């Protein structure tokens, strides 16, 4: 397997940036200021024993089944507790959880998904519980083990946290069809040369597509200019898809020359096998956020003790290292491994990037509505 590396100075830039995301929430939290309690061993042992009696933990996950398989194998070897999961887009998982709630069913324990879905759909519908209430292990609770000495909660209510800090690059291209200097600005996407040769992650639903237009509106061009950009983008007749794997495959195989808002984990998979793809270095910048690497607990977990054990394990040094290594993005723990992290996921010296925050996440709902209206001609 090809190894990737990035200069330490570059990685530090990412973590300094990530600190600005997490600090406003964690710094105001009594949790982040507290020291590990002395009686944690008793609580932990009781929780593990109860979890073993429950026998399993159910995870709804945006990260791939391949990653979940690796985590499940390690978890069952350590605790003897089975891991089941359902993999899908955040929108699909949230709808499933809403349907189950309406039917009075508690089937899910842990949610691994992006901030858009968790903060704009799952949280408002009461589908998530307080994550800090599930934390037991001192090495997880102690803020000194996390970047910037703060536990990386994403929201003020502590319903979700960021396990990774991914630099989302929004333009990926096939190197056999595109030259690197052909994409240096997002406005290059409007060049008539690329008409019919672009695929974009569907921006009319929660995901990287809507996050892309949100960044343009809040960080780059402003709302009105972004709306005009979208109207011009319609003329390019881009192909929409909600299938992350399929979008990456289209670009890797040359069906489309350019991909917009490609899932970063999908990109890792194709980079690892040597596909002819690369990310454009865009002067307007990218976004640092948790990607699909968010972690939450269900409001009424089916296996509450098993859920706690899994959450504490995946946030421990052992579990977090396994997750970040196979997810392919920088982790939020200080001891997260750097080996194998693609250089593309870290900003280069002098490169512009923005930091994801709750305001941006919540604004995505507004951009989804705008996308449905402005891009409507593409769905006729």
Domain ranges, ordered by start, for the chain: 8-165+290-348, 170-281+357-379
User: In terms of pTM, does the model score above 0.75?
Assistant: no
Q: Are 48 and 79 in contact (CB under 8 A)?
A: yes
For residue 56, what are the β-bridge partners?
82
Are 272 and 258 a contacting pair, CB within 8 Å? no
DSSP-derived secondary structure for 119-130: IIIITTTT-B--
Cβ(311)–Cβ(298) below 8 Å: no
Asked if the domains at 8-165+290-348 and 170-281+357-379 fall in one CATH topology, the answer is: yes
194 — phi, psi (to 5°)? -100, 10
**What would the pLDDT profile of 98-157 be if each residue is shown by its tens digit?**
999 999 999 999 999 987 789 889 999 999 999 999 999 999 999 999 987 889 898 889
Q: If pLDDT is split at 50, 70 and 90, which confidence band does 38 have?
A: low
Interhelix angle 65-79/304-314, rounded to 10 degrees, is 110
pLDDT-derived band at 165, boundaries 50, 70, 90: confident
What are the DSSP E strand ranges found in the chain?
A: 56-61, 82-87, 110-113, 160-162, 166-168, 171-174, 198-201, 239-241, 258-260, 277-279, 286-289, 294-297, 353-355
Average pLDDT over residues 23-28: 36
Q: How many residues does the chain have?
A: 380
> Which tens digits make up the pLDDT trace of 265-286?
788 889 889 999 999 999 999 9
Residue 11 confidence (pLDDT): 39
**Is domain 170-281+357-379 given the CATH code 3.40.190.10 in the classification?**
yes
Q: What is the assigned CATH class of domain 8-165+290-348?
A: alpha beta
pLDDT of residue 21: 39
pLDDT category at 17 given cuts 50, 70, 90 is very low
């Amino acid at each position: 397997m090809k190894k990737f590396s990035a200069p330490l100075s570059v990685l530090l830039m990412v973590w300094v940036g990530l600190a600005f995301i997490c600090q406003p929430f964690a710094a105001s939290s009594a949790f982040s200021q507290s020291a590990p309690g002395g009686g944690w061993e008793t609580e932990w042992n009781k929780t593990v024993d109860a979890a073993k009696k429950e026998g399993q933990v159910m995870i709804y996950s945006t990260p791939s089944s391949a990653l979940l398989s690796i985590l499940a194998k390690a978890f069952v070897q350590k605790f003897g507790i089975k891991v089941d999961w359902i993999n899908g887009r955040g929108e699909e998982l949230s709808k499933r959880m809403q349907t189950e709630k309406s039917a009075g069913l508690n089937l899910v324990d842990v949610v691994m998904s992006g901030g858009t879905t968790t903060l704009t759909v799952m949280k408002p519908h009461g589908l998530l519980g307080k994550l800090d209430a599930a934390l037991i292990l001192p090495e997880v609770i102690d803020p000194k083990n996390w970047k910037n000495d703060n536990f990386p909660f994403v929201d003020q209510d502590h319903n979700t946290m960021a396990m990774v800090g991914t630099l989302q690059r929004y333009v990926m291209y096939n190197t056999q069809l595109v030259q690197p200097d052909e994409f240096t600005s997002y406005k290059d996407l409007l060049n008539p040369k690329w008409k019919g040769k672009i695929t974009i992650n569907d921006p009319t639903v929660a995901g990287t597509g809507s996050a892309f237009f949100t960044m343009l509106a809040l960080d780059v061009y402003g709302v009105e200019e972004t709306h005009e950009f979208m109207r011009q983008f319609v003329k390019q007749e881009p192909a929409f898809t909600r299938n992350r794997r399929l979008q990456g495959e289209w670009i890797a195989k040359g069906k489309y020359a350019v991909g917009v808002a490609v899932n970063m984990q999908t990109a890792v998979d194709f980079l690892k096998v040597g596909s002819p793809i690369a990310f454009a270095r865009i002067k307007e910048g990218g976004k640092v956020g948790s990607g699909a690497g968010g972690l939450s607990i269900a409001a009424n977990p089916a296996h509450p003790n098993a859920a706690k054990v899994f959450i504490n394990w995946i946030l421990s040094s052992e579990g977090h290292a396994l997750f970040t290594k196979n997810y392919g993005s920088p982790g939020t723990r200080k001891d997260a491994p750097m080996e194998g992290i693609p250089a593309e996921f870290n900003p280069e010296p002098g490169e512009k990037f923005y930091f994801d925050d709750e305001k941006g996440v919540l604004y995505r709902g507004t951009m989804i509505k705008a996308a449905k209206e402005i891009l409507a001609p593409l769905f006729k």
